[in-house]
Amino acid sequence: MARIVLLLMALSLISILPLLATAMFHIKGCVYCDTCRAGFETNATFYIQGAKVGIRCQDRKTMDEVFYTEGVTDSTGTYNIMVENDHHDNICKTVLVSSPISSCNTPDPGRNRSSIVLTHYKNGVLNHLHYANAMGYFKDDPLPQYCHQLLKYYLSDSDV
């Protein structure tokens, strides 16, 4: 029994060692199409496959760009981007780069970016997976009747 416990401990150590050595971050988030131009996710929102997302880090003092990489969303509109090295002295964010849907490629100015903190220690806890806020594009021609109903529903809901 004790041997099994030791073996399990050794195995779990081995599995986290490469992460520590390379200081890899995993940034996860999603990109949606705001069908009714609501400015937030609704039940009419759909998630965009093949949207390009960038991760940009700037020096805190000079604001020079010190790091940039890109990723693409999968069929669920989710991107997973790996970043190496600790960026604790940088200001980092995810940004919208492009949408493959021509009728839904206007970035929502309020949802076109998400701040991320790329450092392993968050409140003293070792942390590799970072969630970014969802980012969205506005659809060009919201269905008037349908969206009116939908927004009425959401806005009245937030009043109570």
Ligand X SMILES: *[C@@H]1O[C@H](CO)[C@@H](O)[C@H](O)[C@H]1NC(C)=O
- Applying CB under 6 A, among 112, 119, 127, 133 the residue interacting with ligand X is 112
One of 26, 28, 113, 128 touching ligand X (CB under 6 A): 113
Pairing state of beta strands 24-34 and 46-47? antiparallel
The nearest distance, CB 158 to ligand X, in angstroms, is 13
In the complex, what is the shortest distance from the CB of residue 35 to ligand X, in angstroms, rounded to a whole number? 9
115 contacts: CB under 8 Å, gap ≥ 6: 91, 92, 93
Distance CA(51)–CA(106), nearest Å, equals: 12
Total interface residues for ligand X by CB under 6 A:
8
Alpha helices in the chain (DSSP H): 2-22, 144-159
Question: Shortest approach of ligand X to residue 61 CB, angstroms?
Answer: 20
Binding region for ligand X (CB under 6 A) = 43-44, 95, 109, 112-113, 150, 153
